[in-house]
Amino acid sequence: MRARHAGKSRHPVRARHATVALAAVAVLAGCAADRTGAADPAAASPPATTAAQSPTAKPPATEDGTLLVADFGGDTVTFVDPKRGAFDRVEVGTAPYGLAVGADGRAWVATAEGVAVVDTKTRTRTARIPYRTATGPVTTGEYRGGGMGIALAPDGRHVYVGVNVPGANGVLEVIDTGTREVTGTAPVGRRPFDVDVSRDGGEAYATGHDSFDVTAVRTDTLRTRRMEVAPYGTEGGLGSWLKPHYAAVRPGDGKLLLPFEGERLAVLDPRTGKVAVERMTANTHQHGTALTPDGTLLVVGTGPIASDDEDASLTVRAPDGTERVVPLDGPHEDVAVSADGRTAYVTGGFTRDGYWNGLTVVDLAGDTAPVRLAAGNRPLGIAVL
């Protein structure tokens, strides 16, 4: 583990709000204005395939352990062998963001145009379900309208997708996975970066990035409860960097874990709406989260936003709160973990400057160094098949 706090400012909020004041001149919302990132010339993608193409031309059925990434910089999802790299891709719709994969092998992909359904075994798109919510013209970039966070119910019968409505509060749309139709909507916070579901399937949780909150939605009645999650406060509004991004539902007690800046872990009890804060050690702007089978929390550190911040990293936080911080080469966004809990896969897509077309493979035991793998087009969301 690398030492990270020797020269740390004693006033992190003040330091960051100084950064916010400068950033707010150029942007109104989110993590920063969307710009073109540095592309990796080694990350050429294979040709995209659709359901209209001959199935006899497809490679053999997808193997377990294959990675699926959402190509936010294009209109595809890419299939990646974790050792050899990308080998196939499927057109899904403009600027795919999050994705969720069911036990039946179907992937549900949140794009700017609707939720695409991909048969991951045959690697074909079988449907694209339009949103019920009006989100304006189809565009690309961090602030585009359309689906962002997405999650499946534990029984696989419904999909919950957070829909961004530019300039307004977001909407959680409910999709019946059998009929492939939107069956209901519920109001949530602004720019729903992430969606999670309680262990019993009774509630869906939409993390509102620009509204400093999590909205709990009863899945039977679609009644909502807004819970503020702002361990640094809400000063700076849309221009603040200190917002929630991604969450994870902790096994056992069902509380939501939301990391902030590699300094604070907000632990939200959805039953009461109360937030407890635990210390973190990476000291870097944080985004994606995942849980290993034993309850270890993985958190992606995207890199510095203030002069005293550390570089990109992956935090490996044990259930007892002890942490190991793995340095990463360049910005990253989201993370998934192998079925055996031994390997993490961290996407390089990133929602701000500095993204790259690939992912990093991290040995969680620390026996080998992280390995960068070219894959996809600004890969953002990720799942292990």
Span 339-373, pLDDT tens digits:
999 999 999 998 887 899 999 999 999 999 999 99
Under the banding of pLDDT at 50, 70 and 90, the label for residue 61 is confident
Long-range contacts of 180-187 (CB under 8 A, 24+ apart): 180/117, 180/127, 180/129, 181/129, 182/129, 182/130, 182/131, 182/132, 183/158, 184/222, 185/132, 185/133, 185/222, 186/215, 186/217, 186/222, 186/223, 186/224, 187/215, 187/224
Model confidence at 34: pLDDT above 70: no
- Structure confidence at residue 253 (pLDDT): 96
Mean pLDDT of the chain: 88
Model confidence at 48: pLDDT above 90: no
Say how far apart CA 122 and CA 108 lie, in whole Å: 15
Secondary-structure class of domain 12-384 per CATH: mainly beta
Q: Which amino acid is at 257?
A: L
Average pLDDT of span 111-135: 98
The 10 Å Cβ neighbour count of residue 235 is 13
Say how far apart CA 69 and CA 71 lie, in whole Å: 6
Model confidence at 56: pLDDT above 90: no
The owner of tokens 């602004």 is 190
Say how far apart CA 332 and CA 284 lie, in whole Å: 12
The 10 Å Cβ neighbour count of residue 253 is 10
Q: Which of 24-38, 144-158, 191-205 is predicted least confidently?
A: 24-38
